[in-house]
Structure 1
Amino acid sequence: MSETAQAIRLWTRDLGSCLHATLATVLLRDGHDPVTVLGAPWEFRRSPGSWTSEEYYFFAEPDSLAKRLALFHPFESTWHRSGEGGLDELRHALAEGVLPIAAVDNYWLPFRPAFHDVHAAHLLVVYDITDTEVFVSDAQPPAFQGAIPIADFLASWGSLNPADDADVFFSASPSGRRWLRALMRGPVPEPGLDWLGHVIRDNLARYRPGSAGDTQTGVAGLRRYLDELYALTPGPDAAEALSELYVISWNIQAQAGLHAEFLRREGTRWGIRELAEAAAGVDAVAHGWTGVRMTGAHARVWGRHRYDELRAHGAELVRRLEVALDRLELAADAVSRRT
Structure 2
Amino acid sequence: MIETAPKVQLWTRDLGSCLHGTLATVLLHDGHDPVTVLGASWEFRRRAGAWTTEEYYYLAEPDSLAKRLALHHPFESTWHRSEAPGDGLGELRDALAAGVLPIAAVDNFHLPFRPAFHDVHAAHLLVVYRITDTDVYVSDAQPPAFQGPIPVADFLRSWDSANPAHDADVFFSSSPSDRRWLHARMRGDVPETSRDWLAQVIRDNVARYRAASPAGVETGVEGLRRYLDELCALEPGTEAADAALSELYVISWNIQAQSGLHAEFLREQGLRWRIPELAEAAARVDAVAHGWTGVRMTGAHSRVWQRHRFDELRGHSAELIRRLEVALEQLDRTADAVSRQA
Output the TM-score relative to the length of structure 2.
0.97
Matches of 1:188 and 1:4, distance apart in 2: 27
The one-letter amino acid of 1:69's match is: L
The one-letter amino acid of 2:208's match is: R
Partner of 1:215: 217
Matches of 1:107 and 1:83, distance apart in 2: 23
| Offset, 1:8 | 0.2
Which contiguous aligned blocks of 4+ residues in structure 1 show a shift greater than 2 angstroms?
Answer: 1-7
Q: Deviations over 1:11-63 (max 9, x none)?
A: 00000000000000000000000000000000000011000000000000010
Matches of 2:27 and 2:214, distance apart in 1: 34
Q: Which of 119, 122, 129 is 1:120 aligned to?
A: 122
Partner of 2:96: 94
The one-letter amino acid of 1:320's match is: R
Partner of 1:335: 338
The answer to whether the 8 Å contact 1:213/1:221 transfers is no
Matches of 1:253 and 1:193, distance apart in 2: 26
The one-letter amino acid of 1:81's match is: R
- Secondary structure at the aligned position of 1:141 is classed as coil
2:311 is equivalent to residue 308 of structure 1: yes
Q: Deviations over 1:61-120 (max 9, x none)?
A: 010000000111111000000125320010001111110000000000000000000000
2:294 is equivalent to residue 291 of structure 1: yes
2:59 is equivalent to residue 59 of structure 1: yes
The one-letter amino acid of 1:99's match is: L
Matches of 1:58 and 1:174, distance apart in 2: 17
Q: Deviations over 1:155-197 (max 9, x none)?
A: 0000000000000000000000000000101110000101101
For residues 109 and 230 of structure 1, do their structure 2 counterparts lie closer, same or farther at Cα, with a shift above 3 Å needed? same
Matches within 5 A, 1:142-157: 142-157=144-159
Matches of 1:266 and 1:4, distance apart in 2: 35
The answer to whether the 8 Å contact 1:46/1:216 transfers is yes
The answer to whether the 8 Å contact 1:212/1:224 transfers is no
- Secondary structure at the aligned position of 2:185 is classed as strand
| Offset, 1:212 | 7.2
Alignment length (residue pairs):
339
The answer to whether the 8 Å contact 1:249/1:289 transfers is yes
Partner of 2:270: 267
- Secondary structure at the aligned position of 2:14 is classed as coil
Matches of 2:301 and 2:142, distance apart in 1: 23
The answer to whether the 8 Å contact 2:5/2:96 transfers is no
Partner of 1:15: 15
Q: Deviations over 1:233-282 (max 9, x none)?
A: 12111111100000000000000000000001101110111110000000
Matches of 2:128 and 2:239, distance apart in 1: 38
Matches of 2:177 and 2:255, distance apart in 1: 23
The one-letter amino acid of 1:90's match is: L
The one-letter amino acid of 1:162's match is: P
Partner of 1:281: 284
| Offset, 1:7 | 2.6
Partner of 1:175: 177
Matches of 1:210 and 1:144, distance apart in 2: 43
Q: Equivalent pairs: percent with the same residue?
A: 77
The answer to whether the 8 Å contact 1:75/1:185 transfers is yes
| Offset, 1:301 | 0.5
| Offset, 1:3 | 9.7
- Identify unmatched segments of 5+ residues in structure 1: none
Q: Which of 234, 257, 260 is 1:257 aligned to?
A: 260
Output the TM-score relative to the length of structure 1.
0.98
Partner of 2:192: 190
228-237 or 307-316, which deviates more = 228-237
Partner of 1:24: 24
